Amino acid sequence: MKEIENMTKAEWQVMRIIWTLGEATSKQVIEVLERKTEWKQATIKTLIIRLQKKNFLKADESKRPYVYHPQVTESDAIHQSVNNMFDNLCCMKKGKAIGDLIQNSDISKGDIRDLISLLQEKEKTAPETVKCDCLEATA
Amino acid sequence: MKEIENMTKAEWQVMRIIWTLGEATSKQVIEVLERKTEWKQATIKTLIIRLQKKNFLKADESKRPYVYHPQVTESDAIHQSVNNMFDNLCCMKKGKAIGDLIQNSDISKGDIRDLISLLQEKEKTAPETVKCDCLEATA
DNA sequence: AATTTTCGATTACAGTTGTAAACTATGTTT
DNA sequence: AAACATAGTTTACAACTGTAATCGAAAATT
């Protein structure tokens, strides 16, 4: 599994489109991104090339124009990115940070119910308190 | 309120220490970080200087050695960082991403209970489904 | 086949980040 | 006061990012 930590914000935009479409030509990516950003075509091509170098995308060169395929799943990318971000946080603050996310995200009723049962399950074995480890040697 | 988007992983490590201590000398920061990382003192000093340039820290120069004070609260930083990361995600995937975080984080019973009630409240007005916006012009 | 259009590759260039050594100024000990 | 130690400042340098222009190759049109 690739290291996704180094997927930048701009690269995420490109990947989202290709994940959603399943596969895509540069033209398809450019069409979408010219609507949602101010980027020039050349910029978007550069991003695609960098994503190939990082092995997040692979071009099927048997077809012309090339068709780009994701080499990482969206779930893996999301998993790694959000957890990587959370590694920055004081572990004592993670609960509240999740609360912040819940408040600021649109979530479907179904997902909310799933989260509630997950939490109910987790509560059973949850610690009474979580200690700050910001000054500890535990990296 | 400052833009925290550009606080790097390394800088986060420094800030966490100073937030936890309330204020700190470079020496205090160095002591902690030499235990948790492989960084040399000079590296840590560089980070502190960059944090000053970005206005995340301010040195009280009336004392020697300088005492560094945070210019952003930890909550603001967390709020901005996690939401900024979530902006990268397909809105349809955010619920699951939160589930992933819940599974991978230690959370206290109290926080879990808070999250549950937050979710129960949110469920009342939650949409049945959230649509993917990855191809939309809504940036 | 010649021309035009499209698409991919190469090059560019400034700013940021990780990582740190070296230099300087200030404070402390002899 | 001199010497030593500590802390702050300057400089360094490669890799990565944002942002794109330009050049060359392939495909489509005339």
Please report the domains of chain A, with CATH numbers, ordered by start residue.
9-70 (1.10.10.10), 90-132 (no CATH)
Candidate from B86, B116, B130 with C-beta closest to A108? B130
Task: Give B120 to chain A, closest Cα distance, Å.
Answer: 8
Q: What is the pLDDT of residues B44-59, one digit of tens each?
A: 999 999 999 999 999 9
Contact at 8 Å (CB) between A44 and A15?
no
Q: Does B90 touch chain A (CB under 8 A)?
A: yes
Could you check: is the Cβ of residue A63 within 7 Å of any atom of nucleic acid strand D?
no
DSSP string covering chain B: ----TT--HHHHHHHHHHHHHSSB-HHHHHHHHHHHS---HHHHHHHHHHHHHTTSEEEETTSSS-EEEESS-HHHHHHHHHHHHHHTS-GGGHHHHHHHHHHHS---HHHHHHHHHHHHHHHHH--S-----TTSS--
Q: Which residues in chain A have their CB less than 8 angstroms from residue B137's CB?
A: 35-36
Q: What is the pLDDT of residues A84-105, one digit of tens each?
A: 999 999 999 999 999 999 999 9
Contact at 8 Å (CB) between B2 and B50?
no
Contact A105 B82 (CB under 8 A): no
Q: What is the pLDDT of residues A42-86, one digit of tens each?
A: 999 999 999 999 999 999 999 999 999 999 999 999 999 999 999
Contact at 8 Å (CB) between A105 and B86?
yes
Contact B122 A112 (CB under 8 A): yes
Q: What is the pLDDT of residues A6-49, one digit of tens each?
A: 899 999 999 999 999 999 999 999 999 999 999 999 999 999 99
Q: DSSP character for A136?
A: S
